[in-house]
Structure 1
């Protein structure tokens, strides 16, 4: 998977929306920031509602525009998150290897996927994050692997802090998405392609993004609207 640093608005073959799900505090935002910007900070704010990032990559000689959606893990925001499930093409279900409850709660996240995603068998990988804290690990790798194997899921362990296996996890997810797309989805520009993601270039969304940046400096975040 090669990164594309500069690219015009229409210079891609596929527009792919991916969602990262899991309890609050498991490291979803840090995971995405590591993948998109190759950076890590301990000062990320808890995501409120829905947030997103973009990245352009080339894989299998296809230019991909990725929209990476970061969902809040708090119970009160789950109904908002499920509104985005149906249009997503791939999912990361994440837990914290130092937090056993976050691992147990992946069952609930996976059940929501089966209920609300575009298919009962969406392209999904299970990720155990924070392996840099292995000395206080509560979820053994073998237990997570057995759980994933029973569900037919790929399992990866990552560290957003060090960057370990973050890129590899997305490689595995995109392999699954592209394999399914080759069977079902034509290239961008074909009139049969649905509007898979919100039009984030809309003026009102650009204004809200500017407001988000200002409010983040004061320790706040606003919810991006669903523009489907």
Structure 2
């Protein structure tokens, strides 16, 4: 099935997601398929969700009302999980997009993955690592839709090379991916490298401040990079 034909359920935890980023989140989801199901969960009588009102209508997102039955308990999370499981068992979807910065959704993500479906996560930089790492791909919303000359520069600054090389998890992930995709001469096409990374862990180069995987690999300076027309080849410098 072509990616643009994939059916995706977009589920939004409105209490833990910024309404101002819905347009760019939908644009990202569109890269993977069509958001046939669009739902946002919360207590819509709460003044905290006021910014969502116009957004819901503009982007055809169905609001799911959930009252807080007891203080300190998030009923919206429970409703979202129940709906997600119903959608999963219906067997009519190819992937889920979950918008939240709440790690409580980590078990849900892991359950969806066991059925062979992809889970695309979107949240703020404060999102706990277990939720980030559980998703097939997790993207921090701060960097979405920002142009270089916008006032909010903090989330766009690329992580410097020395810090990239000091990230043991990132280095191991990149080296394993290049090694898995490499031929006998040690060179690997960038496309298969990206696929290998996607199979290993949640990853988006924009979370490190780089627009594309190529830019990140150039910056980390642990790989030889060779460009032939539109083809990009990479090789671990240790094998040079």
Q: Please, what TM-score do these two structures have when normalized by structure 2?
A: 0.33
More helix by share: 2
Structure showing greater relative contact order (alpha-carbon pairs closer than 8 Å, 6 or more residues apart): 1
Q: Please, what TM-score do these two structures have when normalized by structure 1?
A: 0.35
